[in-house]
Amino acid sequence: MATHVSKAVLVRLEALPGREDDVRSFLNQGLSIVEEEPKTVRWFGVQFGPSSFGIFDAFPDEDGRQAHLSGEVAKALGENTGVLFEKPIIEQLDVVAEKQPA
């Protein structure tokens, strides 16, 4: 049975001109990082439009979210701000309802 989630994070990334492929690669690399975070139980790298990307991840509790926000992906976001994308917009969300993976 999948782990129930109650907390989430939505990160919006706007690629700098010509860096769209690099942002896609950055998101793929982020996946391998979060696979090492046991309390990051859902993680998606998404593309909203030609140069707009995002990360949606979910956690069972606030401790999991805070561990993620102070972890390696957050560090990588900081290191790549102004290089691959504009300053990220980071929103902390509460999960109201979910359909768990099978």
User: Domain locations in the chain?
Assistant: 16-94
Average pLDDT over residues 63-81: 95
Tokens 């999991």, located at residue? 64
CA–centroid distance for 90 within its chain: 9
- 95 within 8 A of 8, measured Cβ to Cβ: yes
- Split at pLDDT 50, 70, 90, the class of 1 is low
- The mean pLDDT of 50-73, rounded to a whole number, is 96
Query: How would CATH label the architecture of 16-94?
Result: 2-Layer Sandwich (3.30)
Listed in sequence order, the residues at least 6 apart from 71 whose beta carbon sits closer than 8 Å to its beta carbon are: 33, 37
**8-60, pLDDT tens digit by residue?**
999 999 999 999 999 999 999 999 999 999 999 999 999 999 999 999 999 99
- Asked whether residue 5 carries a pLDDT value surpassing 70, the answer given is yes
pTM over 0.85: yes
User: What is the structure's pLDDT at 100?
Assistant: 83
